[in-house]
Amino acid sequence: MTVLAVFAILVGALATAGGLQELVAQGILNSRLYPLIGGTLGTVAGAFLLATGIALFRRSPGTLRLAWATAAVCVPVFVLIGIVEPLAGRGVTVLGLLVPIALVAAVRARPVAEAR
């Protein structure tokens, strides 16, 4: 569980940094609309991944709700910015789709005594 939490923190931090880079460099400085929107969405999705990884690492009681919210945010965002209109690379797209699902599965499988 700790390995998944640390992995989610790393992926979330990198996705947040990549989204901010796209937002600033292409969206704001070059006045391009789609990178502005995609960078903002990628930053928010990365922040959700980061927060869920931290909550899982700390064994916070609301981690399952946060994991579901993260999956609900990340899956559509990474489909949009990674597949529909590719802004994100293949690697971060795959991680952005699989890590939230793995987080939900891991938190749901956690024993009740450990979940508290």
pLDDT tens digits, residue range 80-104? 999 999 999 999 999 999 999 999 9
In a domain? residue 116: no
Token digits for 23? 């937002």
In a domain? residue 30: yes
In a domain? residue 38: yes
In a domain? residue 72: yes
- Write the pLDDT tens digit of every residue in 37-83: 999 999 999 999 999 999 999 999 999 999 999 999 999 999 999 99
Q: What pLDDT was estimated at residue 113?
A: 46
In a domain? residue 15: yes
Q: Quick check: 7 pLDDT over 80?
A: yes
- pTM of the entire predicted model: 0.91
Q: Domain of 16? A: 2-111
In a domain? residue 103: yes
Number of domains observed in the structure of the chain: 1
Kindly give, in sequence order, each residue whose CB lies less than 8 Å from that of residue 53, ignoring residues fewer than 6 positions away.
Answer: 4, 5, 6, 7, 8, 9, 10, 11, 12, 103
In a domain? residue 47: yes
Over residues 1-5, the mean pLDDT reads 93
